[in-house]
Structure 1
Amino acid sequence: MLTEKDIQRFRKETPGTEKVIHFNNAGSSLPPQAVRHAVINYLEEEMTYGGYETNEKYAAQISETYTSIAKLINASAEEIALVENATAAWHAAFQAIDWKEGDVIIATQADYATNYLSYLHLQRKVAVEIKVIPNLASGELDLKALENMMDASVKLVSITHMPTNGGLTVDAEGVGVITRKHGVLYLLDACQSAGQYPLDVEKIGCDMLSATGRKYMRGPRGTGFLYVRKSVLPKLTPYVIDLHAAEWTGENTYIIRQDARKFESWEGDRANILGLKAATDYILEIGIDNIWKRLQHLSSILRKQMANLPMVTVQDIGAVKSGIVSFTVEGKSAEEVQAYLHRQGINVSWNGVSNTYLDMTARNLKEVVRAAVHYYNTEEEIEVFIATLKEMKA
C-alpha cells in the first residue's frame, strides 16, 4: 500500500509534476529522474569514450535489462527481446507466424488500429480470415462465444489487453484458459498495461506479449520489448534477420539463434535500453500490485467526479477498469477540450474513429478525450482537473 509519503517521494523524483498536471500517461508518462540519469550518463560516456567501448563497459548492465523485464512479467531472460517500440515487438511476433491460406485470426472489437490494419494487410497476401469476438452488454469479451469460435482453422488469438479508449481491462487470463485448452497461439498487446497491471505470463497463458517503455512503464520513448514463451520460440521464424539474430556458418548456410533475441537487430539505442532498465527497476521497487491499486483508486475518483458534471459523459466500459478514463464533453470537440486543458497546464490526449474503428462505430462515438492517470498523480490534481472542466462550460 502506497503512503502519502511515498507519493511525495515519487513526485519529487519526477520534476515534471512541478510543471504540469500530467493525465496523458497512456500516451507517454513523465519519466523519473532515475531514467533521465541512466540515459544521460550513458550518452556522456559514449560521447567521451566511444560507442563500442561504452557498450562493452556497460554490457553487463545492458544484459540485466532482460532479467529485470523478465522479473516484472514472471518470465525468463531468454524469453525477452528488446526492440524500439511496441509496434516493432508486436509485428516481430505476428510476422514470424507461418501463415497459410484458410488460417483464422480471432481479434477483439477494441483492437488498436495498427493491429487490425496488420490483419487486413496480411489478407492481401494470404487468404486468412478475421473473426471478432463479440462483446457482452457490459463491453467485456464474451468468452463463451470465443470458446465456440475455436476450431482447427484458428491460428492466432490476438488480444488488446487495455484498449486505447474505453477504460476496459480485458480478461486476458480467461482468454488464456481457452487458448491453452485448444493449443492455439495467443498474442497479447500489453502496450498500455505494462507498468500499470500485474502482468504474469504464466497466469495469463499468453505465448507472446508486446509492450512499450514510454507509457505506464515510464521509460524513454523508442523502447519496447517482446516476450515469447520458450516452447513457442522454435515455431516462430523472424521475418527479418541480421548477424545478431543469426550466425552465417557457410557460403549458403546460417543458424538462427534459439532465444527471443532472434527478434532483435544488432544496432540499438543502448542509452535508452539502460533507461528502460531504470524504469523497470523503479516499478519493481515500488511493486506493481501497489501501482495497480493506486491507479484503480485514482481513476475511480476521477470517474465518479466526472459523472457529476452535467455536460460530461464518461465513455468507459467493462467490470475491471484501467487508469485510462475516456469521456466526451457536450458541444465541444475532443481536440477543443484537449487544447483548452493544455492551456491550463493539464495534459490529456484524444482518439478518433480511426484509432479503434470497430469499437468506436459500435458505440456510436466519433471521438473521445483520454485522461490517463498514474500513481504519481494526486487527488488534488483531480480536483483541479474537475474545476477546470467546470470553468470550460461556465
Structure 2
Amino acid sequence: MLDLTRIRAETPATARRAYLHNAGAALTPAPIVKAMKDYLDLEAEIGGYAAAAQEAQQLDGVYASVARLLNAAPDEIALVENATVAWQMAFYGLALTFKPGDRILTAEAEYGANYVAFLQIMRRSGIIIDVVPSGPNGLLDVGALEGMIDGRVKLIAITWVPTNGGLTNPAAAIGRVARAHGIPYLLDGCQAVGQMAVDVEALGCDMFSATGRKFLRGPRGSGFLYMRRALMQKLEPPMIDHFAAEWVARDRYELRPDARRFENWENNYAARLGLGLAVDYALAIGLDVIEARCRQLAARLRDGLSALQHVTLRDLGPNPSAIVSFTHERVAAADIVKQAAARNINIGASDPASTRIDAERRKLPMLVRASPHYYNSEDDVDRLLALCAELA
C-alpha cells in the first residue's frame, strides 16, 4: 500500500506546490538529496578520490540496483551522464557497422534527439531511415513493422513512451519481431522508467537507455544503458578511454568484458549515488504500486479535461501513460504554463519539433504537458483542472 503521507513528507515541495512536471524532471526525495549533499561534503573533506574509495561498496552497488530494476545482470549495465549519452553509445556503436543501403526502422512518434542522430548517420554512411506507420489508435503497427523487414534492416529503434501524447508503444511485441529476425533492438525508455515496471527480458530489447531525472526521481546528470551481453561482446563503443579498455601493449588495447566499456573514467559520483538510491526508493515502493497510482491520477486529469469547454486532449493509445497532453483553443500552451506557475502549479509544454513526424501527421501545435506521479495528491490534479476551467 502506498504511504502517501510519508512520501509527501519526504518530498517537502509538495506542501507548497502542485508539481505535475515529472516527465521533465521529478522531485527528488529529501533522503536522497541529503545523501548526495553528505557525499559532496565528504569530497570537500577528504578529496574526490578518497571519497570514492571510502564509499566504493555503495557506489558499485548502483549497478546491481539498476539491474534489479530492469531484470538484467549487473555486468549488462553502464552508468553514464544522461540518457542521451546512453542512447548514443549504443546507436553510434552500431553505426560503426552500417553500410550504404542498410536500413533503420523507427516510429512516427520517435524523439527528436534520436531522429537527428539517424539523419547524421544517413548523411555519413548512406543508410535509409524507414518510419513504421501507426495504427488508428496511434500505436506503432506491429504488423506493418513485420512486413517492412528484409535483409537490409540492421536496427529497430523505438521510443517506448514518447515525450507527449500519452502513448505507450507495444514495446514487447516489437521485441518479439526483432528477436524472430535477429535484428538489434534499441529501446528508449526515458519516460517509462520510474512510472511503470521494466523487464528487459520480457521486452526483448538488446539495448535500453534511460535517465535518472524523470519518473525515477533521481538527480539530473545521471543515466544508464542496458546492453544485452550477447550483443555487447560484438559491439565496439564509438569512443573509449583507459577505463573502457586496458592498454595492454603499445599497439593494442582490450575492451572490458562488461557494459562498463561504454563508460569513461570520470563521472559525477554524487549523482551516481543519488541514482542508485532513487532506484532503491522506487523498488521499495513497488513499480506495480507506482504504475497503478500514476494511471489513476492521469485518468482523473484526462476525465476532468475532457469535460471542459475549449480544451482538447491530444493523447493516443488504449492504455495511455501518465503524460497528459492537451491544448486550449483560446489560450496558447506557453501562457497556460505561465499562469499555472503563478499559482504554484508546475507543468510543461511540448514543442512539435520534439516529435516532428507525429506532430506533422496530426497537425499538432505546441502542447501543454502535465505528468502526475505517485507522490501527487488528487488535490494537485484538481488545482490544475480548476485553472483550466477558468481560462478565457
TM-score when normalising by structure 1: 0.98
Matched, 1:54 2:35: no
Mapping of residues 337-348 of structure 1, within 5 Å: 337-348=336-347
The residue number in structure 1 matching 2:206 is: 207
Matched, 1:244 2:243: yes
Q: Structure 1 residue 258: deviation in Å? A: 1.2
Q: Structure 1 residue 389: deviation in Å? A: 1.4
The residue number in structure 2 matching 1:37 is: 34
Q: Name which of 14, 17, 20 aligns with 1:17.
A: 14
5+ long unaligned stretches in structure 1: none
Residue 309 of structure 2 aligns with an amino acid whose one-letter code is: P
The residue number in structure 2 matching 1:254 is: 253
Residue 304 of structure 1 aligns with an amino acid whose one-letter code is: D
Q: Structure 1 residue 310: deviation in Å? A: 0.6
The residue number in structure 2 matching 1:378 is: 377
RMSD of Structure 2 on Structure 1 (CA) = 0.8
The residue number in structure 1 matching 2:76 is: 79
Q: Structure 1 residue 264: deviation in Å? A: 0.3
Task: Describe the superposition over 1:96-122 as per-residue Cα deviations: whole angstroms up to 9, x where unpaired.
Answer: 111111110000000010000000011
Q: Structure 1 residue 33: deviation in Å? A: 1.1
Mapping of residues 152-301 of structure 1, within 5 Å: 152-301=151-300
Residue 332 of structure 2 aligns with an amino acid whose one-letter code is: S
Distance between the aligned counterparts of 2:98 and 2:60, measured in 1?
33
Q: Structure 1 residue 34: deviation in Å? A: 2.1
Residue 145 of structure 1 aligns with an amino acid whose one-letter code is: A
Q: Structure 1 residue 392: deviation in Å? A: 2.4
Counterpart secondary structure, 2:233: helix
Give yes or no for contact 1:34–1:279 (8 Å, CA) kept in 2: no
The residue number in structure 1 matching 2:25 is: 28
Q: Structure 1 residue 391: deviation in Å? A: 2.0
Counterpart secondary structure, 1:221: coil
Mapping of residues 104-183 of structure 1, within 5 Å: 104-183=103-182
Distance between the aligned counterparts of 2:93 and 2:384, measured in 1?
44
Matched, 1:319 2:318: yes
Counterpart secondary structure, 1:81: strand
Counterpart secondary structure, 1:30: coil
Distance between the aligned counterparts of 2:373 and 2:349, measured in 1?
17
The residue number in structure 2 matching 1:69 is: 66
Counterpart secondary structure, 2:230: coil
Task: Describe the superposition over 1:313-345 as per-residue Cα deviations: whole angstroms up to 9, x where unpaired.
Answer: 110000111000000011111111111111111
Q: Structure 1 residue 352: deviation in Å? A: 1.5
Distance between the aligned counterparts of 2:369 and 2:83, measured in 1?
20
Residue 283 of structure 1 aligns with an amino acid whose one-letter code is: A
Percent identical residues: 45
The residue number in structure 1 matching 2:353 is: 354
Structure 1 runs of 4+ aligned residues shifted over 4 Å read none
Residue 321 of structure 2 aligns with an amino acid whose one-letter code is: S
Q: Structure 1 residue 390: deviation in Å? A: 1.5
Matched, 1:93 2:90: yes
Give yes or no for contact 2:331–2:391 (8 Å, CA) kept in 1: no
5+ long unaligned stretches in structure 2: none
Task: Describe the superposition over 1:109-160 as per-residue Cα deviations: whole angstroms up to 9, x where unpaired.
Answer: 0001000000001111001000111011111111110010111110000010
Q: Structure 1 residue 24: deviation in Å? A: 0.4
Counterpart secondary structure, 1:107: strand
Counterpart secondary structure, 1:199: coil
Residue 241 of structure 2 aligns with an amino acid whose one-letter code is: D
Counterpart secondary structure, 2:115: helix
Matched, 1:332 2:320: no
Q: Structure 1 residue 176: deviation in Å? A: 0.6
Distance between the aligned counterparts of 1:235 and 1:132, measured in 2?
26
Residue 175 of structure 2 aligns with an amino acid whose one-letter code is: G
